[in-house]
């Protein structure tokens, strides 16, 4: 079992910032050191290839073109990010295991010429970056659709299947992923940034804080048992689900996968859009799909998932305080603060407002 995870990875490395890519915008070619390293690691002919930026968020993501046609997606993690290469190898290990679930479509990781899925590429300063590649998935992210609600029943049912697999999966030796507990979401030093520093008035900040404490009071009473807490995708939102030309859905981007309350997957599925008029349709469709697989939610569970959604909203408001606005669709980052105030007011009035 020790080799099962170790075989996915090259070696650990040190820590550095994604500011290395701060001068790039969407469509820009990757730095030559990265382009050269990717071609070497995956055995690609330089003359056939292009490597162009998609976005910079928690990672820098590039599309790999061969003879002008998109063939892969290359993800570059800042060294040491969320546990380093071992954690990325663990992510790939779980992703590969999820492929055994019938009826679910997921991205496919591509092994390097050495047979590993996770490699290290050095920049001009000899800093090693953790890099993986997955096959390109043709289609449209649900985020770009006018109304993704018709697909949320499927997303909810797939989340339930993920959770059932997670409860019974025997993890390989050395498996390493982080937690999404309250402190990592909205604590004094959250993983993605403090929502309190967002552009809010004092009254707005107080309203959000009141809603947060009401939600935390619910979640902190939930025991962490094998039924409530485990390994989840943690980011099943519209930007991470692609609708193919044939209508087939594919889930991508497992880099936030970690341990949390299973019902946090409901909260993450509504990230950034809870204030939108169509959000209740998405929420109800997700619940319907989940219940078709796992049975009906109890009233307590509905309150827990709604509380997690409130917490997630402020967590992602914190995310906007220290991430590039172009990592989101146009205008979405600017809507996060006023939208969060709206969501907080509605939660205080009715915790289950999204499901009514």
186 and 325 housed in the same domain: yes
354 domain-assigned: no
Would the pLDDT of 13 be above 50?
no
Would the pLDDT of 135 be above 50?
yes
85 and 215 housed in the same domain: no
**pTM (2 d.p.):** 0.92
What is the rounded CA–CA span in Å between residue 194 and residue 100?
38
Q: Residues of the chain with pLDDT > 90: what percent? A: 83
For residue 314, give its domain range.
140-349
Report which secondary-structure segment, H or E, holds 122: strand 119-122
Per-residue pLDDT reduced to its tens digit, 106-122: 999 999 999 999 999 99
239 and 288 housed in the same domain: yes
List, edge to edge, every strand of the sheet that includes 249-251: 140-141, 241-243, 249-251
Q: What does the pLDDT read at residue 327?
A: 81
90 and 214 housed in the same domain: no
Tokens of 134: 């997955």
Half-sphere exposure in the Cβ direction for 42 (13 Å, CA): 27
159 domain-assigned: yes
Q: What does the pLDDT read at residue 181?
A: 96
327 domain-assigned: yes
> Closest by alpha carbon to 279, among 296, 262, 266?
266
Tokens of 340: 């969060």
Average pLDDT value for residue range 6-19:
57
Q: What does the pLDDT read at residue 323?
A: 83
Average pLDDT value for residue range 301-317:
98
119 and 164 housed in the same domain: no
Q: What does the pLDDT read at residue 19?
A: 75
Per-residue pLDDT reduced to its tens digit, 268-294: 999 999 999 999 999 999 999 999 999
Q: Domain boundary at 104, 135, 166, which?
A: 135
5 domain-assigned: no
31 and 177 housed in the same domain: no
77 and 144 housed in the same domain: no
Confidence of residue 6 (pLDDT cuts 50, 70, 90): low
161 domain-assigned: yes
Per-residue pLDDT reduced to its tens digit, 220-276: 999 999 999 999 999 999 999 999 999 999 999 999 999 999 999 999 999 999 999
Looking at every residue in the chain, the average pLDDT score rounds to: 93
170 domain-assigned: yes
Would the pLDDT of 80 be above 80?
no
Q: Domain boundary at 83, 107, 135, which?
A: 135
- Asked if 263 contacts 301 with a C-beta cutoff of 8 angstroms, the reply is yes
Q: What does the pLDDT read at residue 8?
A: 67
Q: What does the pLDDT read at residue 15?
A: 45
Average pLDDT value for residue range 127-146:
94
Q: Residues of the chain with pLDDT > 70: what percent? A: 95
Q: What does the pLDDT read at residue 79?
A: 73
- Asked if 180 contacts 259 with a C-beta cutoff of 8 angstroms, the reply is yes
Q: What does the pLDDT read at residue 54?
A: 95
Q: What does the pLDDT read at residue 12?
A: 45
Would the pLDDT of 10 be above 60?
no
Q: What does the pLDDT read at residue 5?
A: 64
Q: What does the pLDDT read at residue 290?
A: 98
Average pLDDT value for residue range 77-92:
85
CATH number at residue 131: 3.30.200.20
- Asked if 13 contacts 128 with a C-beta cutoff of 8 angstroms, the reply is yes
Per the structure, how many domains does the chain have?
A: 2
Would the pLDDT of 154 be above 80?
yes
Confidence of residue 90 (pLDDT cuts 50, 70, 90): very high
Q: Domain boundary at 78, 112, 135, which?
A: 135
Q: What does the pLDDT read at residue 14?
A: 47
32 and 173 housed in the same domain: no
CATH number at residue 236: 3.90.1200.10
191 domain-assigned: yes
Q: What does the pLDDT read at residue 17?
A: 63
169 and 251 housed in the same domain: yes
Would the pLDDT of 88 be above 60?
yes
Q: What does the pLDDT read at residue 7?
A: 64
Per-residue pLDDT reduced to its tens digit, 165-192: 999 999 999 999 999 999 999 999 999 8
264 and 311 housed in the same domain: yes
Half-sphere exposure in the Cβ direction for 239 (13 Å, CA): 16
165 and 295 housed in the same domain: yes
């Amino acid at each position: 079992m020790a080799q099962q995870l170790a075989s996915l990875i090259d070696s650990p490395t040190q820590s550095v910032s994604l500011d290395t890519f701060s001068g790039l915008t969407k469509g820009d070619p990757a730095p030559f050191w990265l382009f050269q390293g990717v071609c070497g690691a995956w055995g690609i002919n330089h003359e056939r290839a292009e490597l162009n930026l998609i976005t910079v968020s928690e990672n820098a993501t590039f599309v790999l073109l061969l003879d002008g046609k998109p063939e892969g997606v290359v993800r570059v993690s800042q060294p040491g990010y969320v546990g380093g290469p071992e954690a990325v190898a663990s992510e790939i290990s779980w992703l590969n295991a999820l492929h055994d679930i019938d009826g679910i479509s997921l991205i496919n990781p591509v092994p390097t010429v050495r047979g590993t899925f996770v490699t290290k590429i050095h920049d001009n300063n000899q800093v090693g970056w953790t890099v993986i590649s997955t096959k390109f998935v043709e289609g449209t992210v649900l985020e770009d659709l006018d109304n993704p609600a018709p697909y949320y029943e499927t997303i909810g049912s797939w989340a339930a299947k993920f959770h059932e697999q997670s409860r019974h999966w025997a993890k390989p030796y050395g498996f390493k992923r982080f937690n999404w507990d309250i402190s990592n979401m909205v604590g004094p030093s959250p993983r993605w940034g403090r929502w309190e520093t967002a552009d809010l008035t004092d009254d707005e900040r107080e309203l959000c804080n009141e809603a947060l404490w009401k939600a935390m009071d619910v979640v902190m009473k939930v025991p962490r048992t094998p039924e409530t807490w485990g390994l989840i995708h943690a980011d099943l939102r519209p930007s991470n689900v692609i609708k193919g030309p044939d209508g087939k859905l594919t889930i991508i981007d497992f880099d936030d996968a970690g341990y949390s309350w299973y019902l946090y997957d409901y909260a993450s599925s509504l990230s950034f859009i809870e204030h939108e008029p169509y959000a209740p349709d998405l929420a109800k469709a997700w619940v319907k799909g989940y219940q078709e697989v796992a049975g009906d939610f109890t009233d307590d569970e509905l309150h827990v998932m709604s509380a997690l959604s409130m917490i997630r909203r402020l967590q992602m408001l914190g995310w906007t305080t220290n991430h590039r606005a172009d990592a989101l669709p146009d205008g979405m980052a600017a809507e996060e603060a006023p939208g969060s105030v709206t969501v907080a007011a509605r939660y205080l009035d009715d915790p289950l407002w999204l499901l009514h």
